[in-house]
């Protein structure tokens, strides 16, 4: 029997091979990264996941685990001939005990949050893509989001998990003792491993008491320097849940996309600060800026203000296929980094005679800049070449490294950033990562080419690093 026949014989699993049906699983949603051709297996139980992984191991075929396919670094875009293992069918949610709930890998973050909210709790992970992004994907990528400063990234939210190892065996740490200080932290190693070490099937997610009433403030600072200077004041206020930023130009873009005029000037840098209750925060903030540069919204209308930040990715996607970078710098270097990024992009764009529009926004508390580069109106109709995209990327990332920052603050490495891993972490740490990979996945069949460069770098037509755009 061939592999698709063997997969079809597995109980509680459907299999897609038709090119149209498979299309949504082999490309990322931005349209920049495309892989395959691939078979898609859609198991509905952990046992079926194990059977799929076992069958692929027996056939020597690579497996690419995939959740909601909302990632931005091509971590779930399959190389040619791989099996995409979609975990979306594992969507059961258990009971809350010891402050945590076991959720199937395919439960969306939105579903987990409404489960939590119905019990006066929150999952503490807030992503704009939460309607599609899954618990398993969040665990595998150590997802961050808007509320990292209050609740931590996914790593801090995860109390346990169950995963299928590359030979089909099952590692069950769904309910480790609440206090357990025995041996290596295998759960911690799988969080953020981007599907390269094991396939996560269930996650034990910590739930916290939900905020009582959310108040969001938008502050339109005339410059990034003034925005950064306000951070210590804002961080010192009680109940702070989120501290985000957007270039005024990015806000203006969202406003135009939504046909909803921005309520404040868009000349400088907006800061969005959300609080648990705390109307007193508004009083303190009043000293930072004149009234006509401050907007406040309570629980009923908070999304009307937040949308100028949370819908930026959507507004960018509506305008074209961007080059996306996700960099972080120490807060003290934030304004200089923003300036250096804009300059570096302009220089590369000018030298190629292609106008580029940087859209800049992100997570201010962590010094995280999302740099989205869109071709301007005068760019060639078919966009730009991959070679040009790589030049833009290199120009930006060199600036960030020079300022002591990171080439991927939040979105991970995937296939898009793997060439930069060694620059960030150094050869010794990358060599150790390779030994970790070999220990978990000696045959190298789990998500090959994600995080680490393939041993012999080969750019084939099925390699999404090669044929994108
Ligand atoms: C966000 O913070 C997401 O909104 C998406 O991480 C960032 O689209 C992006 O570059
Ligand atoms: Zn982000």
Ligand 2 centroid distance, CA of 297 (Å): 22
Closest residue by Cα to atom 5, ligand 1, is 313
Q: Name the CATH topology of 100-209.
A: 3.30.465
Ligand 1 centroid distance, CA of 309 (Å): 9
Count of other CB atoms within 10 angstroms of residue 330:
11
As annotated, the residues of the chain forming the CATH 3.30.70.2190 domain(s) are 214-313
Q: Is the pTM of this model over 0.85?
A: yes
410, 412, 414, 417: residue to mutate for ligand 1 pocket, most atoms within 8 A of CB = 410
The burial class, CB within 10 Å (0-12 / 13-18 / 19+), for 439 is: exposed
- Domain 214-313 annotated CATH 3.30.70.2190: yes
Under a CB-based contact definition with an 8 Å cutoff, are residues 161 and 173 in contact?
Answer: yes
SS3 103: strand
Instruction: Look up residue 173 and give its two tokens.
Output: 């740490």
Ligand 1 atom with the smallest distance to the CA of 326 is 10
SS3 189: helix
pLDDT in tens, the chain (469 residues): 799 999 999 999 999 999 999 999 999 999 999 999 999 999 999 999 999 999 999 999 999 999 999 999 999 999 999 999 999 999 999 999 999 999 999 999 999 999 999 999 999 999 999 999 999 999 999 999 999 999 999 999 999 999 999 999 999 999 999 999 999 999 999 999 999 999 999 999 999 999 999 999 999 999 999 999 999 999 999 999 999 999 999 999 999 999 999 999 999 999 999 999 866 777 778 888 999 999 999 999 999 999 999 999 999 999 999 999 999 999 999 999 999 999 999 999 999 999 999 999 999 999 999 999 999 876 666 567 899 999 999 999 999 999 999 999 999 999 999 999 999 999 999 999 999 999 999 999 999 999 999 876 444 445 555 443 3
Please work out whether the CB of residue 372 comes within 6 Å of at least one atom of ligand 1. yes
- Domain 320-402 annotated CATH 3.40.190.10: no
User: Domain 3-86 carries which CATH code?
Assistant: 3.30.43.10
What is the DSSP secondary-structure string of 388-408?
Answer: HHHHHHHHHHHHHHHTT-BSB
As annotated, the residues of the chain forming the CATH 3.30.70.2740 domain(s) are 320-402
């Amino acid at each position: 029997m061939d592999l698709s026949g063997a997969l079809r014989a597995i109980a509680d699993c459907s299999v897609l091979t038709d090119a149209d049906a498979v299309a949504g699983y082999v490309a990322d949603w931005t349209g920049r990264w495309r892989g395959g051709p691939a078979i898609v297996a859609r198991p509905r139980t952990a046992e079926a996941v194990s059977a799929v992984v076992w069958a692929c191991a027996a056939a020597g075929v690579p497996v690419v685990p995939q959740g909601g396919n909302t990632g931005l670094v091509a971590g779930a875009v399959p190389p040619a001939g791989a099996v995409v293992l979609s975990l979306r069918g594992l969507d059961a949610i258990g009971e809350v005990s010891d402050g945590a709930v076991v959720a199937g890998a395919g439960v969306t973050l939105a579903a987990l949050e409404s489960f939590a909210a119905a019990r006066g709790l929150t999952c503490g992970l807030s992503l704009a893509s939460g309607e599609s992004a899954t618990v398993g994907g969040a665990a595998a990528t150590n997802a961050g989001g808007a509320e990292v400063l209050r609740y931590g990234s996914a790593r801090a939210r995860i109390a346990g998990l169950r995963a299928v190892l590359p030979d089909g065996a099952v590692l069950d740490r769904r309910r480790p003792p609440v206090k357990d200080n025995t041996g290596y932290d295998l759960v911690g190693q799988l969080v953020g491993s981007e599907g390269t070490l094991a396939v996560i099937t269930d996650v034990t997610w910590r739930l916290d008491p939900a905020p009582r009433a959310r108040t969001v403030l938008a502050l339109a600072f005339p410059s990034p320097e003034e925005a950064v200077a306000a951070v210590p004041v804002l961080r010192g206020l009680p109940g702070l849940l989120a501290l985000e930023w957007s270039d005024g130009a990015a806000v203006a873009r969202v406003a135009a996309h939504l046909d909803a005029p921005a309520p404040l000037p868009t000349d400088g840098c907006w800061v969005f600060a959300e609080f648990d209750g705390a109307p007193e925060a508004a009083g303190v903030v009043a000293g930072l800026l004149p009234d006509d540069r401050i907007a406040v919204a309570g629980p009923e209308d908070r999304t009307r203000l937040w949308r100028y930040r949370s819908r930026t990715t959507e507004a960018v996607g509506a305008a074209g296929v961007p080059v996306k970078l996700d960099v972080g710098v120490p807060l003290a270097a934030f304004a200089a980094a923003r300036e250096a990024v804009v300059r570096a992009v302009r220089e590369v764009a000018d030298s190629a005679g292609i106008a580029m529009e940087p859209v800049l926004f992100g997570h201010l508390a962590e010094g995280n800049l999302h740099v989205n580069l869109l071709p301007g109106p005068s760019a060639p109709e078919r966009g730009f070449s991959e070679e040009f995209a790589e030049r833009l990327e290199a120009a930006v990332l060199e600036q960030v490294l020079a300022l002591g920052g990171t080439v991927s603050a939040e979105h991970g490495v995937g296939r898009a950033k793997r060439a930069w891993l060694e620059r960030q972490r150094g050869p010794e740490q990358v060599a150790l990562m390779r030994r970790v990979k070999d220990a978990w996945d000696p045959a190298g069949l789990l998500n090959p080419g994600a995080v680490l460069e393939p041993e012999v770098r080969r750019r084939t037509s099925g390699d999404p690093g090669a044929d994108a755009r």
